[in-house]
Amino acid sequence: MRELKYFEALREATDQCMERDSSVYLMGLGVPDPKGIFGTTAGLLKKYGKNRVLDMPTAENGMTGVAIGTALMGMRPIMTHQRVDFALLALEQIVNQAAKWYYMNDGQMHVPLVIRMIVGRGWGQGPQHAQSLESWFAHIPGLKVVMPANPYDAKGLMISSIEDNNPVIFLENRWLHNIYGDVPQEYYKVPIGKARIAREGRDLTIVTHSYMVLESLRAADILASGGIDAEVIDLRTLRPLDHTTVLDSVKKTGNLLVVDHGWIHYGVSAEIIAMVSEQIWDCLKSPPRRMGVADVPIPSSRSLAQYCYPRSADVVKMVAEMLHKPMDQFKIEISEIPSDIPDRSFTGPF
């Protein structure tokens, strides 16, 4: 199977959907720009023209209303925001309008709208450009929220999102855009609402999503060096949440750590632990734990930001505490890569 980068998988999914269905169109700040939203929309203006690949003014709330209106008229818009932070200006349209049309009209009207938002850290983005607000959107009935962690899922979930008849919030961590993975050339879908067992294990369950799947898998390799067999669950979709996969895993291991992609308070990790505690409390061998981004607005300074984000070594440390294992049994290599770039191959831009 061929390999594609995450951003190439997103572009291919969009391209294939636009080719199959003339009602699919793109709109967003910078969509027709040569850089094309980190490469995810590059070349689509030339192929489909300005009537289907549209730039938009910095009027997020109004333009989201336009997207909702066209969706109600039978189009399938894909709206992009280069930062999730910019979409906060459109919350009224997203929460009060898009999420509710299906319910307010007894299921007779649909808003088949995909809103792409980019999240994550890097290069001093700071408190207004580096937030992970997925739990906000997952809180709202009527919205689906997906966060793929690899190129295969990025393509398959994007196609499922575009074909969905109701609004989907599609969140991409910018650190994932340049990772490689196997991606079929043909048109395929990954179902919304189905988690993935990214690594099987028997001693402890790590539930996580988006970029933190990569850190958790690295942690699982380190834990294996010390004799701990961790299972890693990639949620892929936050709403609807795949309860079954999480519960089955915790029933098997008896131990649960949730590695949140955002802040832990009132967030995704709180929801997961509440769900497990309510439904299979008797299966737990230890108190469930969670970790996530430091509970502060993200600083721009590299010297401060490096302490905000959990990495694989932090996951290993918390697992060792949970299972009462000494840290010196694990082979942890201290990374010399700065904490604000994904790896040394990365040359930007953010």
Q: Distance between CA atoms of 157 and 183, rounded to whole angstroms?
A: 12
Is the separation of the CB atoms in 151 and 8 below 8 Å? yes
Distance, C-alpha 111 to centroid of its chain: 21
Catalytic residue among 60, 172, 215, 231: 60
Catalytic residue among 81, 129, 209, 261: 129
For residue 81, indicate whether it is catalytic: no
Mutual orientation of helices 6-20 and 151-163 as an angle, nearest 10°?
Answer: 30
Q: Distance between CA atoms of 35 and 345, rounded to whole angstroms?
A: 19
For residue 129, indicate whether it is catalytic: yes
Is the separation of the CB atoms in 38 and 177 below 8 Å? yes
The burial of 278, by beta-carbon neighbours within 10 Å (0-12 exposed, 13-18 middle, 19 or more buried), is given as: exposed
The burial of 243, by beta-carbon neighbours within 10 Å (0-12 exposed, 13-18 middle, 19 or more buried), is given as: middle
Catalytic residues: 60, 129
